[in-house]
Structure 1
Amino acid sequence: MQIRWLTAFLDFTPAEFGDEVTFWRAIAGSTVSPPRGAHREFATLEPFNGDAHLRVQRIQEGPGGVHLDLHVDDPHVAATVACAAGAVTTGDHGDHLTLTSPGGLPFCLVAWNGSARRSRPIRWPEDTISIIDQVCMDVPDTRFERELNFWQHLTGRPAVSTSRPELVALERDRGLAIGILLQRLDVGAPDSTTTAHLDLATTSVDDEITRHEGWGATVVERFEHWTVMRDPAGRRYCITDRNPRTGE
């Protein structure tokens, strides 16, 4: 099984869909495709160069969140591999399948449509460069080792240590626009399912914070190398000082 492309999907409730799409379009520096789907529930955040790696979806049930689409040659063959590694199939829609990881994180296996060109970071008027380029999985401590092993097996990418013991990255595939990071939640915290959030890489965290606050986001907590933000609907994400061109 080869992952040809990765897409990060933002899942919104009906009440959030319009304003939230506007917010994420603005901070991504993208345009929005015409809606599609049987209920006009899908849209793509179109970059100014390269192939799209961010999409949005209006869901009818649940709190919303973030999930990954793995683009593969044959979703059904890939699903066999994923299920053997511990995933559970929750829906077969012909050209794509919905699954959950061992930790309960939803993801999709979709038919690859040829996407292969990474988009370049956006340069903003204040000369800051940034790009949304990473999905961080927030994993309960009791589920962490199994979840890490699952995603290593499914992607074929080894784990890479970071400057923080609770953060483990998967080695980035330079051909993909999205990287994967796993964060171990506090030991002793209530057990729950794995969730995910988006990370943005930038040359100036402070400039990005100011720009995002102008669109209605708020600062939750600051750390040395990243800042936790909350978008206008309360969704958390991070602005990081990683290199926006390499993701490192």
Structure 2
Amino acid sequence: MIRWVYAVIERPAGQLDAATAFWSAVTGTHRLHRDDADDWLEVREGDGGARLRFACDDVPALVAAAIRLGATTTVEPHVLRSPAGLAFEVTHWEGETRLLPAGASSHLDQVCLDVALTAYPSELDFWGELTGWQLQSFPPQFHRLVRPQGIPVQILLQCTDDGSTKAHLDIASADAEGDRRRHEALGATLVQDFPEWITMRDPAAGIYCLTRRNPRD
């Protein structure tokens, strides 16, 4: 059973300090830690995207289930790849339960899995079966895994037409334009403004989105 989900921010080795400083500032944390909530974010060396880390009661059982569903192992212990190649981790649950206090106007609460069209159906099946969470459809190109109460990070799957499969971070924002300006002052840059989200690039060159979802709802 999945007890907790982390959003892992992956950035090049030379950009880890810049990434940590930026994401600490925009999430209101001290080096991604808070005294009033359990950790739900990490920054580590990687290719500039994001990955999920699942904390569970029985690591071998979840790893075995993932492999039965089509995941493959890697050289890193308990790091696997989905059928389309998305890396994720499985670790032992250490008792994390404390969510952020309610009331923030923005919150990093989602990892979006951008999946190539040809792999999208199999990825929907894989992630739905692995988590056991209900799939919620948002035509024409999105599905969300409805996270159980008490889980800090939800999973969105987006069908892309560029042939690539990757992952990025999403921030729910009650004032996306105001947050865009605040993030730009911290070193981020605008990539493109869409009706339902704003695509940004952080100071470590990682892509993320400010989504027009009110975290207070």
Greater shift, 50-59 or 176-185, is seen at 50-59
The answer as to 2:53 corresponding to 1:69 is: yes
In structure 2, what is the Cα distance between the partners aligned to 1:121 and 1:208?
A: 18
Number of the residue aligned with 2:108 = 132
Shift of 1:70: 0.4
Number of the residue aligned with 2:167 = 196
User: 74, 79, 96: which one pairs with 1:98?
Assistant: 79
Q: Is the 8 A contact 2:11 2:204 kept in 1?
A: no
Query: Tell me, which stretches of 5 or more residues in structure 2 are unaligned?
Result: none
Q: Percent identity?
A: 39
In structure 2, the CA distance between the partners of 1:231 and 1:220, relative to structure 1 (3 Å rule), is same
Shift of 1:58: 2.6
Q: Is the 8 A contact 1:48 1:119 kept in 2?
A: no
Number of the residue aligned with 1:176 = 151
Give the AA of the match of 2:174: T
In structure 2, what is the Cα distance between the partners aligned to 1:220 and 1:121?
A: 29
Runs of 4+ in 1 over 4 A off after TM superposition: none
Higher helix share: 2
Query: Tell me, which stretches of 5 or more residues in structure 1 are unaligned?
Result: 33-44, 124-128
Secondary structure of the equivalent of 2:14? coil
TM-score (ref. length: structure 2)? 0.95
In structure 2, what is the Cα distance between the partners aligned to 1:50 and 1:137?
A: 25
In structure 2, what is the Cα distance between the partners aligned to 1:105 and 1:50?
A: 28
Number of the residue aligned with 1:81 = 65
Number of the residue aligned with 1:38 = none
Shift of 1:216: 0.9
Write out per-residue CA displacement over residues 168-212 of structure 1, whole angstroms, 9 at most, x where no aligned residue: 1111222101000000002xx3x34x2110000111111101110
Q: Is the 8 A contact 1:52 1:119 kept in 2?
A: no
Give the aligned length: 217
Give the AA of the match of 1:102: P
The answer as to 2:96 corresponding to 1:115 is: yes
The answer as to 2:137 corresponding to 1:161 is: yes
The answer as to 2:35 corresponding to 1:52 is: no
Give the AA of the match of 1:235: G
In structure 2, what is the Cα distance between the partners aligned to 1:64 and 1:243?
A: 26
In structure 1, what is the Cα distance between the partners aligned to 2:144 and 2:76?
A: 30
Bigger RCO of structures 1 and 2 (CA < 8 A, at least 6 apart):
2
Number of the residue aligned with 1:37 = none
TM-score (ref. length: structure 1)? 0.83
User: Over the residues paired in the alignment, what is the CA RMSD in angstroms?
Assistant: 1.5
Shift of 1:92: 5.7
The answer as to 2:13 corresponding to 1:26 is: no
In structure 2, what is the Cα distance between the partners aligned to 1:92 and 1:236?
A: 25
Shift of 1:150: 0.3
Greater shift, 50-59 or 101-110, is seen at 50-59
Secondary structure of the equivalent of 2:89? strand
Shift of 1:227: 0.7
In structure 2, what is the Cα distance between the partners aligned to 1:64 and 1:74?
A: 29
Q: Is the 8 A contact 1:121 1:130 kept in 2?
A: no
Q: Is the 8 A contact 1:197 1:237 kept in 2?
A: yes
Q: Is the 8 A contact 1:120 1:245 kept in 2?
A: no
Shift of 1:167: 1.1
Number of the residue aligned with 1:145 = 121
Q: Is the 8 A contact 1:228 1:237 kept in 2?
A: yes
Give the AA of the match of 1:226: W
The answer as to 2:176 corresponding to 1:205 is: yes
